[in-house]
Each structure stands twice: as C-alpha cells, then as structure tokens.
C-alpha cells in the first residue's frame, strides 16, 4: 500500500516528463543538489494520492513533510529559501521584486502561449500563438545581451524559468532566425550547466532531436 504523500520522510515532487513547469522545478532541485523522490505523473491518468493533496490535481506538486505546494513559482521560491546555497534570488528587496515580476510575466505570457501551442487543436490559433511567442522573445532581445545570464551575471530563478521554454523552441516549431542569435547563445549557456543536464527526462532529451 502506498504511503500517504504527507507522511513520506523524503521530499516528493509530482512531476510530468514533458511539462515545462515541472521541468523548472527539477532544474532548481538539481542546482541545489537536493535529493527528492520524483513521481512521474501521466496527465491522462493522475494518481488518487495526487488528487488527495492537490484539489486541482496539477503538476508540479511538491510535498515536504506536512507542507504541500502546487504552484511552480511558489515552489521555486520555497526551495531557494529552504536550501539557501547556492542562492538563486538577489540579496536586496528591489532586485528580488524585479525578478519576481519577470517570473510572473514569463509564466503569464510566454508559458501561456507555449501551453496553447502544445495543447491547441485549432491550426490558426496555434499559428498565432507561435508568432506571438516568437515576436515576444525578439521584442526583449536586449535583455539577453550583455550579461552571462538573464539581466544578471549570476544564475537565478528566472533562468530556471526560461530554460525549459528555450529548450522547447524547436519542438514548438519556432525559429528565431539570425535575429535570435543572442537568445540562442544564452540558451546554450543554460543547457551546458550540469544541473540542467541532470534535470532532463528522456522525453525532454528527445525534444531537441526534433528538426
């Protein structure tokens, strides 16, 4: 008989092997060197124990002793505070606020478009979403230039949010062309990190083989 999730002695992450929001949590776990039990959830048949702890049945869902969290950006910040080394948030309040705002915009705008592309059934809507996502990335091109990472020389939570999106661009059928050179270069810096490599599922590895 399966042990109730909130009675497990180790941290547990309910994840999906292709879900970008699950992916960014796995990146943070790997960056922090945190060992967690990762339970791969089929979105077509979610386990009863997930529904029992999360009324929406969504992934990612994190269980840490009696704590249950199921919104990806909240999970990211919790992990950064729970395991403070290496830090993935700026030290000062202004910098932290700016990073939170950027994480919110990426989730609301770009992740929203990505989900539309992945789950869309109307060809025109999918095409428009691809165009909007491509134009959105290119519209902030200067933000990808100059620093080693996004708006910073230090790797942070916003990079953990952007990495799954950029990893999936070719899979989504989006080509930034020559204009996106700086974005592609930034993406390769993220993909070369050991933690990013460790975060990938087999299904995610296959995404980059799609041409």
Q: Which domains does the chain have, with CATH numbers?
A: 5-82 (3.40.30.10), 93-194 (1.20.1050.10)
* Structure-token pair, residue 27: 């990146």
Annotated active-site residue 19? The verdict is: yes
Distance CA 159, CA 88 (A): 9
- What pLDDT is stored for residue 211 in this prediction? 43
Q: pLDDT (tens digit, 9 = 90+) per residue, 177-199?
A: 999 999 999 999 999 999 999 99
In which element (H, E) is residue 62 found? strand 61-64
Contact 203, 149 (CB under 8 A): no
Cα separation, 45 vs 37, whole angstroms = 19
pLDDT band of 3, cuts 50, 70, 90? very low
pLDDT in tens, 61-114: 999 999 999 999 999 999 999 999 999 999 999 999 999 999 999 999 999 999
**List 19, 27, 88, 161, catalytic entry:** 19
């Amino acid at each position: 008989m399966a042990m109730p999730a909130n009675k497990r002695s180790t941290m547990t992450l309910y994840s999906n092997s292709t879900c970008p929001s699950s992916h960014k949590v796995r990146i943070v776990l790997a960056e922090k060197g945190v060992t967690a039990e990762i339970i791969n959830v089929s979105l077509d048949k979610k386990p009863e124990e997930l529904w029992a702890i999360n009324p929406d049945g969504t992934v990612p869902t994190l269980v840490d002793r009696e704590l249950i969290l199921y919104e990806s950006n909240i999970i990211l910040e919790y992990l950064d505070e729970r395991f403070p080394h290496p830090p993935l948030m700026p030290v000062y309040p202004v910098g932290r606020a700016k990073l939170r705002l950027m994480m919110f915009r990426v989730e609301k705008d770009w992740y929203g478009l990505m989900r539309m592309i992945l789950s869309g059934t109307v060809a025109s809507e999918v095409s428009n979403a691809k165009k909007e996502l491509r134009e959105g990335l290119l519209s902030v091109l200067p933000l990808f230039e100059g620093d080693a990472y996004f708006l910073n020389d230090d790797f942070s939570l916003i990079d953990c949010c952007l990495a799954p999106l950029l990893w999936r661009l070719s899979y989504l059928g989006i080509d930034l062309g020559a204009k996106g050179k700086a974005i592609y270069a930034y993406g390769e810096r993220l993909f070369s990190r050991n933690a990013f490599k460790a975060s990938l599922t087999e299904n995610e590895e296959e995404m980059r083989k799609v041409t």
